[in-house]
Chain A
Amino acid sequence: MATVSVTPQQFTFVMYDAGRIAEIASTLADQLGFGADEVIEIDIDEKTPLARTRIDSLESPVKLFVEGGALEDSQTPRHLGERASATSIGRLLLRVLDRRSGRFADAPAEDQLTLPQVVAWDTTAMGRLSALGYDAQEPRRRYAFRNRHGFTDTADQVFDRLWASDEPTWADVAAACEETARVIQPA
């Protein structure tokens, strides 16, 4: 099982349990195929309720940055949400594996991705987490997808395709973005 470390170890703005976050991440890393010798470091900014995330290093130690809101239980503010933690960390770990796989070799750097590209790639990640048995909130992800790709039948069909893909490539994501953009902004 990969070694996971969480910073900070003690929280003051929220009532999170660093040990539990590490457990969730370890389980995910195992399920997703990270090696037992891998090290994953998760840096959490507990001072904000926002939910931005970032990958700071793809190679071991894998470094993930997470704003506190991404791990929060939406029903119990300031408490750790199991579902939110699993999907937020799982999405990042899948992004790391995708980039390492070579299937996304042509993908732009993280800070160069457009919002539609981010959401399309995330859709593939959420679909894969759902296939593993996690509650990835498909209707919520579909709404986010429609916001970036249009409230159209085409966008829904593309979403279904991305959600079901078990080994997506950058070409799949790019093609999805082009397909929905053609409907929103016809030539």
Chain B
Amino acid sequence: MKKLMRSDDLARDGRFKRVEVQERFLDRRMTPRMREAVEGRVGQSEGKKRRTEFSPEHPDAPDRARALMHGIFVGEIQALEGAGRTCWDFETGAGQDDVPFAMKLDMARQCWDEARHCEISVKLSDHMGTEIGEFAESAFLFEAACNPDPILRLTGVNRALEGLAIDVFNTMKEFGDTSGDPVLEFCEDWMLADEVTHVKMGSDWLKRVTENDPERRQRALEFQRVVDKLFSGGGFRGDDESSPVKLARRFRELAGFDSGEIDEIAELSKQALEEATARFNAEAASA
């Protein structure tokens, strides 16, 4: 069986339509978050009731929630595929290209969780009136899971992207609660509990495997920073009250992040928003 599969090799039926990661970055349109930044409204809701595109009183909230949860659904499929590949791609041992047997066991457990999340997501899609494949699939999670270094793979997927999933699940759990949707609220709560475990696995294995290799640990953390910034959705996820998806600080601490690391993610998201807004302004000016 092939090792180190590429995202192009992932099997999907005719309902799914893939959109390349680069295609996402070619989209020069102004997101609601960028509009807030251009109008100087980011961070202005300090102390006020949080109102974002996932607030029940927002006109677009139900459709934005459907699209976001479909993104989570395809992310769950890819997380299952990624954790499965990590079990297969590396030999058990103590070498640089090997992984401890206990880490493979953790990845196998994660496969079990992700498979359950796929089933939950399919049923949640039904509940939210979403067709499977209704929205484009981006394979960015699996692409992070293609890193040939197992520790970089774990920091990119388990710490950066599953960390993002913690923020999304926490936000959507609140949305389910405030909109009076118990199905959404409980689905998110159950999946959130597993995500905290997955991120903690990433944090623990990063520390254990790189205990005597500070240079490798540094490379892994740098890869995590790149993934965190790339997939902060141009500031879609952030720390201020006006962020559509808010950093879930408490759950991240439970998953092994220290406050300095969480502050750094908040800063990366802020930078991503500023860069996206500057790009939009420059293009609008030249148009």
Contacts and interface: CB of A to CB of B under 8 A. Distances in A.
B66 interface: yes
Given A76-B19, A140-B66, A143-B66, A68 B29 contact: yes
Interface in A140-158: 140-144, 146-147, 150-151
A76 B19 CA distance: 7
Contact of A49 (B31, B134, B181, B183): B31
Given A74-B67, A76-B17, A144 B134 contact: no
Task: Specify the main secondary structure of chain A where it touches its partner.
Answer: loop
Given A50-B32, A137-B129, A184-B180, A75 B62 contact: no
A83 to B, nearest CB: 10
B29 A74 contact: no
A77 B136 contact: yes
Contacts of A146: 181
A11 B180 CA distance: 40
| B interface bracket (residues with beta carbon within 8 Å of A) | 35 or more
A75 B41 CA distance: 31
B180 A75 contact: no
A114 B23 CA distance: 37
Contacts of B136: 74-77
B127 interface: yes
A12 interface: yes
A139 interface: yes
Interface stretch (B53-61, B144-152, B153-161, B192-200): B53-61
Contacts of A138: 129
Contacts of B31: 49
Given A74-B136, A76-B136, A151-B182, A143 B57 contact: no
Interface string A113-142: 001001000000000000000000111111
A36 interface: no
A151 B180 contact: yes
A34 to B, nearest CB: 26
Contacts of A12: 287
A118 to B, nearest CB: 8
Given A74-B136, A75-B17, A147-B181, A49 B29 contact: yes
A27 B17 CA distance: 28
Contact of B129 (A14, A47, A50, A143): A143
A77 B19 contact: yes
Given A13-B29, A68-B29, A77-B27, A50 B60 contact: yes
Contacts of B222: none
Contacts of B284: 47
B128 interface: yes
B109 interface: no
Given A50-B60, A137-B129, A143-B129, A150 B180 contact: yes
Interface string A45-64: 01111111000000000000
Interface in B26-40: 27-32, 35
Nearest to B70: A74
Q: Which of B28, B62, B126 has the most CB of A within 10 A?
A: B62
B128 A143 contact: yes
B28 A13 contact: yes
Contacts of B180: 150-151, 184
Contacts of B27: 49, 77-78
A118 B24 CA distance: 32
A76 B127 CA distance: 23
Interface string A75-101: 111100000000000000000000000
A48 B30 contact: yes
A141 B284 CA distance: 35
Q: Closest 10 CB pairs between A and B?
A: A139-B129, A140-B129, A143-B129, A75-B17, A144-B62, A147-B62, A74-B135, A49-B29, A143-B128, A13-B29
Interface of B: 17, 19, 23-24, 27-32, 35, 56-57, 59-63, 66-67, 126-131, 133-136, 179-183, 284, 287
